[in-house]
Amino acid sequence: DGGITQSPKYLFRKEGQNVTLSCEQNLNHDAMYWYRQDPGQGLRLIYYSQIVNDFQKGDIAEGYSVSREKKESFPLTVTSAQKNPTAFYLCATRQTGTYEQYFGPGTRLTVT
Amino acid sequence: ELKVEQNPLFLSMQEGKNYTIYCNYSTTSDRLYWYRQDPGKSLESLFVLLSNGAVKQEGRLMASLDTKARLSTLHITAAVHDLSATYFCAVAVSGGGSNYKLTFGKGTLLTVNP
Chain segment B28-43, per-residue pLDDT in tens: 887 899 999 999 999 9
Q: CA of A51 to nearest chain B CA: how many angstroms apart?
A: 10
* Residue A74 near residue A23, CB atoms below 8 Å: yes
Q: CA of B54 to nearest chain A CA: how many angstroms apart?
A: 15
Choose from A54, A103, A108, A110 for mutation: most chain B CBs within 10 A.
A103
DSSP A10-76: EEEE-TT--EEEEEEE-S--SEEEEEEE-TT--EEEEEEESSTT--EE-TT-TTEEE--SBTTB--E
Q: Give the nearest partner residue to A58 out of B45, B101, B107, using CB atoms.
A: B101
Q: CA of A102 to nearest chain B CA: how many angstroms apart?
A: 8
Q: Could you list the pLDDT tens digit for every one of the 114 residues in chain B?
A: 889 999 999 999 999 999 999 999 998 887 899 999 999 999 999 999 988 889 999 999 999 999 999 999 999 999 999 999 999 999 998 766 667 789 999 999 999 998
Q: Give the nearest partner residue to A105 out of B4, B42, B98, using CB atoms.
A: B42
Cross-strand partners of B88: B35
Cross-strand partners of A12: A110
Contacts of A102 in chain B (CB under 8 A): 45
